[in-house]
Amino acid sequence: MADYAQKLIAGNPSLGQRITVIKGKVEDVELPEKADILISEPMGTLLINERMLESYVIARDRFLVPNGKMFPTVGRIHMAPFSDEYLFIEIANKSLFWQQQNYYGVDLTALHGTAFQGYFSQPVVDAFDPRLLVAPSISHVINFTTVKEEDLYEINIPLKFTASVGTRIHGLACWFDVLFDGSTVQRWLTTAPGAPTTHWYQLRCVLSQPIYIMQGQEITGHLHMIAHSAQSYTINLTLSAKMWGPGAEQGGILQTSSCKFDLKEPYYRMSQPQAYPIAQDQQPNQDLKHPSLADFVQQSSNDSDVQIL
């Protein structure tokens, strides 16, 4: 990148009078003076993947003048529970291969459980219809001007939602946005579902065991992300449904589902938002009715345009 930038500058003499290229890692390089503005693209999937934010913070501490500008300035991770029967079935079906008891004379079933958990350990990267969200989103803010490098080693986000519909929750959907806070103008770059799709898409952590919720029911849990040496994060997600209705004040947790994901090894589904049938396209004040696996298989066998993988 530095070499190509130097070629561009050489081809534009007016730029060469104002730009000096210094090649090296921000952790190692030395600058002749402090910078007034720091510009970078440190965002990865779920904002934090690839752990580039740490280098961004190191560059701030080493090179930025007091009260200097950082672009981007602030990042926010947004989260909401979702219901997507078709995605759940798609992931679960991947492990069916390992249920064969006689694959050329080999019984594969000993690896079925491992394969099932392995597929569900992959976060799904794709663009999805925001109508699949079943509760208003919450957000976790990272202020790049003040966050410490060590704060990014482990991120623990408590989760609390109120269900807008009664349905099955299949996991947690996540996306991010970043603020470019200029002296006179603010600009947001968003990766939200329903907004123009970016190359970051959105990310969904799919639970191997969905939980059932009623409209108005409280959903709690936590999203715990721990940095690892492969320049990414291990994600631990837990979602729980609390008792709802009469007697709820005396009740505790009804259902809990947890999964562990490796942000470094996602399932790049990267489809555009899919047109779901009416069963998944209800208004927020209506109950969602999802087909069972048997219904899906029966429908697929009668539909030449649908394949079961």
**Residues carrying an active site annotation:** 41, 50
- Rounded to the nearest 10 degrees, the angle between the axes of helix 85-93 and helix 293-301 is 80
| Cα distances (angstroms) measured from residue 206 to each of 69, 190, 245, 283, 301 | 38, 22, 27, 23, 25
**74 with 179: CB under 8 angstroms?**
yes
Residues 6+ positions from 130 with CB-CB distance below 8 Å: 192, 193, 194
User: Across the chain, which distance is largest between two alpha carbons, in Å?
Assistant: 76
**23 with 2: CB under 8 angstroms?**
yes
Residues 6+ positions from 64 with CB-CB distance below 8 Å: 34, 35, 36, 38, 70
Residue 155 phi, psi (nearest 5): -125, 120
Rounded distance, CA 50 to CA 17, Å?
34
Nearest to 63 by CA among 87, 79, 47, 39: 39
User: How many other CB atoms are there within 10 angstroms of residue 27's CB atom?
Assistant: 10
Amino acid at 151: D
